[in-house]
């Protein structure tokens, strides 16, 4: 095969796929990046879109703009419907509702980094009532629901109904749930204070529901306790040892370990409880005869390749990695894992093209960080355990550093600085106007 004839198909423009393409952009290969969206989403900040702290454009960046100077990179806006491992071919569907499906893509190396979605634990009917913030579209939906709740409460005289409108339930006590609950509380107590005439937004209830006995279970217990106390100080009520067992448009039902249940009247629920791998993981696993775990992740080899198919690599939330010494490693579904695996995948392709051996993937844990609110966060960096403003500054720096695009870094830096000083939020827009109230055409 001549230089430049090696065809690499990368599925997914998230952290893993993006980093793999960047590693290979200067290599003698032809790269095709496939994604159902035309932008890369900086997912760790999507909850800030959901709470009006940042506009969508500042946490997303067009994929074509990222690679416009890399002549060996082609970006396709399409959905992957299947992978033929024997023929080394990827089947596509046109996401723009075209009648003619795109031609299949042939590959010599396939890198699959399609990510995951939130799992509703077998209750897909809850998805209608509890939106999540994993995608940009859903984050904008949550923003509209949150702001609309305050608007509805302003028009209601009935005290019980007003209380239900101003009760917000966040399900899931991991970093996203903690960050989301803290932002809702600050939105109510800081940003919206004084904006209404008939209601007092500072009286809003924010409940953070977690099945375990503490928040942030991947953090040390001392930091979990500090996070809980910080949340309580800004008006969040951590509701621990409770499992969601029911949900409808008007309420959430929680169950305690002793079997007792409680129905909470709440009109706005945000889901941040658990994830399930993209369906492509199960599809690849079945085709290759690989193990698939309960979260839908396919078990891959220590070098991130699909068992029996060294030309296919699976990254990020989709995969559970087999250890060289035996057993399976469940890596956290966070951006640093995907970034490191994407870099490793790109280097692996380069090494194989040069006929060199590839060492097993080793994840380097650089720590955990979660923000709680303005000037409040917890962080574990090596042996350091930080909380309060020092941890928040670490969180601030890490997110600015990893944000894609200089313009976005500058804009977000300015937004956060302005918000820190003024307690304001620039993107408090309700954009999904109900159909019956749409202006006439």
By annotation, the residues acting in catalysis are: 179
C-alpha–C-alpha distance, residues 441 and 398, integer Å: 46
Structure tokens at 171: 């399900």
Q: How far apart are CA 429 and CA 271, in angstroms?
A: 21
316 contacts 14 by C-beta, under 8 angstroms: yes
Q: State which H helix or E strand residue 387 sits in.
A: strand 384-387
Q: What angle do CA 321, 327, 332 make, to 5 degrees?
A: 40
Q: Quick check: 311 and 85 in contact, CB under 8 A?
A: no
CA distance 306 to 423: 49
Give the number of other Cβ atoms within 10 Å of residue 254's Cβ: 22
The whole-angstrom separation of Cα 90 and Cα 80 is 7
Q: In the sheet where 243-247 sits, what is the strand order?
A: 243-247, 251-255, 261-265
In the Cβ-directed half-sphere of 279, how many Cα atoms lie within 13 Å? Answer: 5
What is d(CA 60, CA 41) in angstroms, rounded to the nearest whole number?
Answer: 4
Which stretches within 259-313 are classed as H helix?
Answer: 279-288
Measured distance CA(234)–CA(193) in Å, rounded: 14
């Amino acid at each position: 095969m001549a230089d430049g004839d090696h065809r690499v198909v990368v599925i997914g423009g998230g952290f893993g796929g993006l980093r793999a393409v960047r590693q290979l952009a200067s290599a003698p290969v032809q790269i095709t990046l496939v994604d159902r969206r035309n932008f890369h989403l900086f997912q760790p900040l999507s909850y800030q879109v959901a709470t009006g702290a940042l506009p969508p454009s500042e946490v997303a960046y067009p994929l074509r703009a990222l690679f416009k100077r890399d002549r060996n990179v082609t970006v396709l806006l399409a959905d992957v419907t299947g992978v033929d491992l024997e023929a080394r071919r990827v089947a596509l569907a046109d996401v723009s509702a075209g009648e003619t499906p795109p031609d299949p893509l042939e590959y010599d190396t396939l890198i699959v980094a399609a990510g995951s979605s939130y799992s509703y634990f077998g209750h897909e009917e809850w998805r209608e009532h509890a939106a999540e913030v994993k995608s940009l579209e859903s984050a904008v939906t949550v923003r509209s629901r949150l702001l609309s709740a305050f608007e509805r409460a302003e028009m209601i005289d009935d005290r019980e109904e007003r209380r239900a409108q101003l009760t917000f339930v966040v399900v899931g006590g991991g970093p996203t749930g903690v960050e989301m609950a803290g932002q809702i509380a600050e939105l109510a107590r800081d940003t919206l204070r004084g904006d209404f005439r008939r209601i007092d937004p500072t009286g809003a209830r924010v409940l953070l529901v977690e099945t375990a006995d503490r928040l942030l279970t991947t953090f040390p217990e001392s930091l979990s306790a500090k996070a809980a106390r910080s949340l309580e100080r800004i008006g969040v009520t951590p509701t621990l040892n409770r499992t969601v067992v029911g949900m409808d448009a008007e309420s959430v039902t929680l169950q305690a370990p002793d079997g007792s249940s409680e129905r909470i009247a709440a009109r706005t629920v945000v889901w941040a409880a658990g994830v399930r791998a993209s369906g492509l993981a199960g599809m690849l696993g079945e085709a290759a005869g690989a193990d698939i775990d309960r979260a839908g992740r396919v078990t891959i080899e220590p070098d991130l390749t699909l068992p029996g198919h060294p030309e296919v690599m699976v990254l990020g939330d989709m995969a559970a990695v087999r250890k060289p010494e035996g057993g399976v490693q469940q890596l956290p579904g966070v951006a640093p894992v995907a970034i490191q695996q994407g870099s490793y995948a790109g280097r692996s392709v380069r090494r194989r093209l040069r006929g060199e051996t590839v060492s097993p993937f080793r994840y380097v844990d650089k720590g955990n960080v979660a923000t709680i609110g303005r000037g409040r966060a917890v962080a574990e960096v090596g042996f350091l355990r930080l909380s309060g403003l020092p941890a928040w500054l670490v969180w601030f720096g890490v997110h600015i550093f990893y944000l894609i695009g200089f313009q976005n870094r500058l804009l977000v830096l300015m937004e956060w600085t302005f918000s820190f000083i003024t307690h304001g939020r620039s993107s408090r827009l309700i954009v999904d106007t109900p159909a019956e109230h749409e202006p006439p055409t």
